[in-house]
A and B are shown apart, each in its own frame.
Chain A
Amino acid sequence: MRSEHPPVVATWLLERFCADVALAGDLVEQYRDGRSVVWYWKQAIAAVSVYSVSQILEHKWLALRAIATGFVFWYLLNNMFLHGVLKPVMETNGLRVAYIFIGYAFWITNGWLIARLHRPYSAAMVMAYILWAIVASVPAVYGAVSGDPASRSLGWEVASRIATLVSLLTGGMLSTYRDQLRQVREDWRAYATR
Chain B
Amino acid sequence: MAKEYLGNLELMVLLSLIRVGDQAYGVPISREIERRTGRDVALGSVYAALDRLERKGFVSSVLGDPTPERGGRAKRYFQITAKGVREVRDAQRMLTNMWRNLSVLQGELV
A interface: dominant SS: helix
Cβ–Cβ contact B42 & A26, under 8 A: no
Among the listed A22, A27, A30, A46, which residue makes an inter-chain contact with B76, where contact means beta carbons less than 8 Å apart?
A22
B82 within 8 A of partner (CB): no
| CB of A123, distance to nearest CB on chain B (Å) | 13
B18 within 8 A of partner (CB): no
Give the interface residue-count category, chain A: 20 to 34
Provide the bound-state CA to CA distance between A22 and B73, in Å: 6
Cβ–Cβ contact B44 & A22, under 8 A: no
Provide the bound-state CA to CA distance between A18 and B66, in Å: 18
Of the A-B pairs whose beta carbons lie under 8 Å apart in the complex, a sample of 27, sorted by A's number, is A11-B71, A22-B63, A23-B43, A23-B44, A23-B47, A25-B66, A25-B67, A25-B73, A26-B25, A26-B27, A26-B75, A28-B71, A29-B69, A30-B43, A32-B69, A43-B42, A46-B42, A46-B44, A47-B42, A48-B44, A50-B47, A54-B48, A54-B51, A187-B74, A191-B65, A194-B62, A194-B63
Q: What are the 7 A-B residue pairs with the smallest beta carbon separation, nearest first?
A: A47-B44, A25-B73, A22-B76, A26-B26, A25-B70, A46-B42, A50-B44
A21 within 8 A of partner (CB): yes
